[in-house]
Every structure is written in structure tokens, then in C-alpha cells.
Structure 1
Amino acid sequence: MARLFSDGSISTHVVKHESDIKSRVCGVAGIIKLNASPDCLGVCVEEPFSGQFSSVKALFPMIGAVVLECETQGLPWSFINLSKLKTHATGKGNAKKPDMQAAAKARWGVDLGEDEADAAWAAAFAMDSNLFG
């Protein structure tokens, strides 16, 4: 999870949930509810990417939880294609995790883990593209 602030600074957090779907869905909804405030412009999530349906089928309920909680909280939401996210961050649609991390270090001056860098770039894409007005 990443929060990008209007001054350009960033805050990231690694969030781990139990492996059962109830914990994951409730956890994702809880994160959105916790961070929904007047200064929250919206929620941007990278789209699932995998060639195997069995690899992503657990993500579909979590996507539903994101949309439902955003709608409940009155927050705009968007999903971003992974290759667009990578292009925004690095200029290459096929960038690897270390490329995303290096781009994050260059932009924010902090070392981020693989998932943190992806989350940070989703937030940056939303802000840089003016997705939420």
C-alpha cells in the first residue's frame, strides 16, 4: 500500500493478510476505510496480471472489496494496466521489479521493496495523470 501526498512525498506499508479469502477481502476493505479521509483523492490499483486463471482467481473477490469499499466511502477508484504502470515509471512496458525500485529511488529518494515500489507507482500514476481531478 502506498499513499502519495500533495507535496510529492510518499508513505508505503507492506500489508500481509492471512491466506484465507475472508481475511484478505476484509483486510483490503479495512485499509481503504482506514485511509478514507477528505484529503484522499482516490484509490488506484494495478490490474491482476497472469496467464493462469488459477493464479488470479483469488484476486477477484479482493477487487470487488476494493470497488465496494471505495463506493461506500465515496472515493473514486481506478485500475491501471501493469504495462502502462511500468511505462509511466521507467519508460519500458516490460520493466522488471528492480527497474521499478530504481525508478522509485530516483523519484522519492527511498529504497522500496518490490511490492511497495509497484504500489507507489500506482499512486504516482493516478496523481501524475490527474485521474481523480
Structure 2
Amino acid sequence: MKTLLLQIFTWWSGQTIGVRFHTWRNGERVGEDAMGNVYYQGGKDSEGRTRRWVIYNGPSEPSMIPPGWHGWMHHRTDVAPPSETYAAKPWEKPHQENLTGTGRAYRPKGSILNQGARPTVTGDYDAWTPKS
């Protein structure tokens, strides 16, 4: 019952009722990634391309889409990762969780949340002042 209520009233807890209906009616399962996200395609978007979508395994977190699937989702390639002809690029890094807003987020030197001192400015930059 809790899952049904979440699907009716929230969009960030996985698929909504609308997505479930659209997937049932138009969706063709293309594959699944290592994190359990399931990818679908079907129908046409406003530009005439095949519509593609993902149903997340857990909260809707777009940074959980691996590079190969990201390219397929955004029509950068027509070859989905489960295809036999798919080959990951050598420069593609494995997925890393988005740490923004957490205690493990990147905090450069000089940040209010970092104890390090800000690096001094060098070079030919002169800060603007009203009297100059």
C-alpha cells in the first residue's frame, strides 16, 4: 500500500502511476544496468525521435545513470549498452555517486566549510574598486 501511495503522490520515489501506464502501453524493455535501473523505449517525442526513459531502482537520481546508458538516453548513440556492438570508450570512468550536499562533498581550499587557506591570487589580475 505504501508503494502505491508513493507512486500516486511523489515523483522522486521511483515510477509514478503515469510512467507505469506509459511503460505498460508503449514501453519496450531495452535493458538494465548494474545498479538495477531499467531502460525502455517506445513511441515518439515532439521531435519525432523514439522516446527513451529509465525507471530507477530506488530514488530518482539522474547521476545514477552510467555513461553508456546516458549516451543512449540522450540520443548520442543508437547502440544501447546490452547490444553486442556496444563498446565502452577507454576514457569512460565508472559511476560515482553525486556527493553534493553531503559531508563527503568536494570543498576546495578557501571554502567556508574547509579549514584550508585560500590560495593567493597571482598574475596580472587587478580587482576592480570603485575609485580606480
TM-score of the aligned structures, taking structure 1 as reference length? 0.20
Higher relative contact order (CA 8 A, sep 6+): 1
As a proportion of its length, which structure holds more helix? Answer: 1
Higher Rg: 2
